[in-house]
């Protein structure tokens, strides 16, 4: 679990914010579940690649932040574009 601490923390944050984003799971549930799945798979894949290179936690955190923030923002923008089209 320590190897994937950043991905797990982002997943927990998404789950904590989910009631506010989905009106208590009554609307946009499929949208949110698809979004959380895509973001989680991407985060775990990126973190798995960094774990193979045996980076220190501080270095891995910096690289994860620089890589996952633009990717997750792009994924969110694409999902919003398709949902509100």
Residue-wise pLDDT for 30-68, tens only, equals: 777 888 888 889 889 988 888 888 888 888 888 888 888
Report the C-alpha gap between 81 and 83 in whole angstroms.
6
Neighbour count for residue 59 (Cβ, 10 Å):
12
Q: Is residue 24 pLDDT above 60, yes or no?
A: no
Confidence (pLDDT) at 26: 62
Q: Is residue 74 pLDDT above 80, yes or no?
A: yes
Report the C-alpha gap between 41 and 1 in whole angstroms.
16
Polymer length of the chain? 85
Residue 44: how many CA atoms within 13 Å on its side-chain side? 9
18 touches 10 (CB < 8 A): no
Q: pTM, whole model, 2 decimals?
A: 0.73
Confidence (pLDDT) at 65: 84
Report the C-alpha gap between 85 and 80 in whole angstroms.
8
Q: Residue ranges of the domains in the chain?
A: 2-83
């Amino acid at each position: 679990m320590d190897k994937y601490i950043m991905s797990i923390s982002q997943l927990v944050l998404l789950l904590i914010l989910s009631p506010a984003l989905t009106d208590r799971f009554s609307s946009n549930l499929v949208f949110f579940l698809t979004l959380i799945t895509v973001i989680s798979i991407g985060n775990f894949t990126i973190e798995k690649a960094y774990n193979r290179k045996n980076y220190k936690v501080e270095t891995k955190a910096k690289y994860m932040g620089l890589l996952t923030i633009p990717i997750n923002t792009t994924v969110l923008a694409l999902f919003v574009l398709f949902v509100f089209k």
